[in-house]
Amino acid sequence: MANTVLYPGDTIGVVGSSANAAMLVTTARKMGLRVGAYGADETSEALQLADFKAVGSAKDRDKLQHFAESCAAIVYDSDRVSTDVIKFLAQFTRIPQGSDMLEMMQDRLLERAFFEQLNVNIAPYATIINLDDVYQSVNSIGYPCVLKPIQKEWSHGRELVIKTQTDIAKAAGLLDWGTYILESQVAYDREYSILVARDQDGNQQAFPITEVQSVDDRPIRTWVPAQVDDAVAGEIHRVASEVAKNVSYVGIFEVSFYLTSSGAIYVKKIVPAPSETGYVFEAAATIDEFSEHLRAIAGLPLAEPQILTPAVTASFTAGQLSAMRTQWQLKANWHFNFYHLRHQQDNETMGHIAVQGPSVKPILDQLDDTGIWSEKSDNAE
């Protein structure tokens, strides 16, 4: 790919409605770019912050085309953006992230085929069409396991954890929605993540490995530096580098991993966009993920991220807001980031805090002492 450079004053478009969209708009404007944002809700933070906004749905082809023709390039904010929209926009302007990696990571079968092509360790799985498939496959996969729709966008409310044979009958109604996969639930000790920036010439720049604590597959806390031994770190870097070599993609992507008590490493997922686990670098490093992402998109040389201070980020939900208001008055070292998302439920993430300190452990201890992120408070919400 020829190196196409965006200069200050050039126009970049942002598509998406997550917290990342607003952060991309803000970062692009700091870089001197003119920014447009496209979305269905004109009151969203990204559209409010942009230099110009286009209000329309994912099906409004005329508005999408006009938006694309107004931008020298377009970025998308998350792995939940419609692949069809990205393919349509790409007819009228450059989308350096492309649609190939996005399409692959939205389909669990395509995703696993890619992992198998790279010869990386993934949780055992089987393709499920009907209830008989579940009964047959569970014998080789074992308990506990999870039934998940092939298309990730349909996952909400349509996943089933199977702990015993009696649970299998509950899958009957779910399978009417289409093809599923049955995947083993790997018992793991630690969870790690790595961000990699890939430029237009295929050069790659990895961020330091982060350690992650998740609840219900949602990252709750992320920290650097991670406690990770050299052999594990080496394998994480190797896998991330192999991914970068085998995709047509420009920008930041995330690869996350499980580490078992026996030292086995499993690839959990790839996110072809900036990631929540990367928020920690704004507090900890010489460059944050959004700046690096846009450097790659704009054809600038990639910066080498270096840790300046240990830091932890911890997300909080609307239901935890009362507890956060108490800490607002008490914690001198907590830096609050609110996402300003509309119409939020109590269990939805509405922001995060970033905390710096001399080392990770006292920061985690300080967070634990508040009780906000304890298992009891999570279950209470």
Summarize pLDDT for 104-131 with one digit per residue, the tens: 999 999 999 999 999 999 999 999 999 9
* Predicted confidence band of residue 375 (pLDDT cuts 50, 70, 90): low
pLDDT of residue 158: 84
How far apart (Å, rounded) are the C-alpha atoms in residues 93 and 105?
23
- Picking from 65, 66, 59, 62, the residue whose alpha carbon sits closest to that of residue 82 is 59
Beta partners for 74? 13
219 has pLDDT over 50: yes
| 60/344: higher pLDDT | 60
Q: Which residue has the higher pLDDT, 1 or 88?
A: 88
* 3 class by beta-carbon count within 10 Å (0-12 exposed, 13-18 middle, 19+ buried): exposed
- pLDDT of 3: 66
CATH number 3.30.1490.20 given to 124-184: yes
Q: For residue 84, what are its two tokens?
A: 């069809």
Q: Which residues of 292-305 are buried (b: 16+ CB within 10 A; e: fewer)?
A: bbbbbbbbbebeeb
- Residue 315 has a pLDDT of 97
Please give the pLDDT value at position 377.
Answer: 36
> 164 and 143 in contact (C-beta within 8 Å)?
yes
Is residue 311 within 8 A of residue 356, CB to CB? The reply is: yes
Q: Which residues pair with 219 in a beta bridge?
A: 214
SS3 337: strand
> In this model, does residue 378 exceed pLDDT 50?
no
| pLDDT tens digits along 2-16 | 569 999 999 999 999
| pLDDT value of position 1 | 43
* Side-chain-side CA neighbours of residue 338 (13 Å): 10
**Lowest-pLDDT choice from 193-207, 294-308, 315-329, 367-381:** 367-381
Q: What is the mean pLDDT of residues 318-333?
A: 94
Residue with tokens 């708009």: 25
Domains 11-95 and 124-184 share a fold: no
Query: Average pLDDT of 162-182?
Result: 90
| Cα 300 to Cα 85: distance, rounded to the nearest angstrom | 26
Is residue 316 within 8 A of residue 352, CB to CB? The reply is: yes
Give residue-wise pLDDT tens across range 38-52.
999 999 999 999 999
Question: What burial letters (b/e) apply to 15-51, b meaning 16+ CB within 10 Å?
Answer: bbbbbbbbbbbbbbeebebbbbbbbeeeebbbbebbe
Mean pLDDT of the chain: 94
What does the pLDDT read at residue 381? 26
Strands (E), 122-234: 125-128, 145-149, 160-162, 180-184, 190-198, 204-206, 210-215, 218-224
Report the topology of domain 310-381: D-amino Acid Aminotransferase; Chain A, domain 1 (3.30.470)
| CATH code at 187-308 | 3.30.470.20
Question: What's the whole-model pTM score?
Answer: 0.94
Does residue 101 carry a pLDDT above 70?
yes
Domain boundaries, the chain: 11-95, 124-184, 187-308, 310-381
- CATH classification number, 11-95, choose in 3.40.50.300, 2.60.40.10, 3.40.50.20, 3.40.50.1260: 3.40.50.20
What angle is formed at CA 300 by the lines to CA 335 and CA 53, rounded to 5 degrees?
Answer: 65
Q: Residue 254: name the closest of 236, 278, 271 by CA.
A: 271
- What was the pLDDT predicted at 153? 79
pLDDT tier at 155 (50, 70, 90 boundaries)? Answer: low
Q: Is the pLDDT of residue 137 over 50?
A: yes
How does pLDDT run across 235-268, given as a tens digit for each residue? 999 999 999 999 999 999 999 999 999 999 999 9
What is the tens place of the pLDDT at every residue in 257-305? 999 999 999 999 999 999 999 999 999 999 999 999 999 999 999 999 9
Q: Strand order of the sheet with strand 180-184?
A: 125-128, 180-184, 145-149, 160-162
24-28, 60-64, 209-213, 370-374: segment of lowest average pLDDT: 370-374
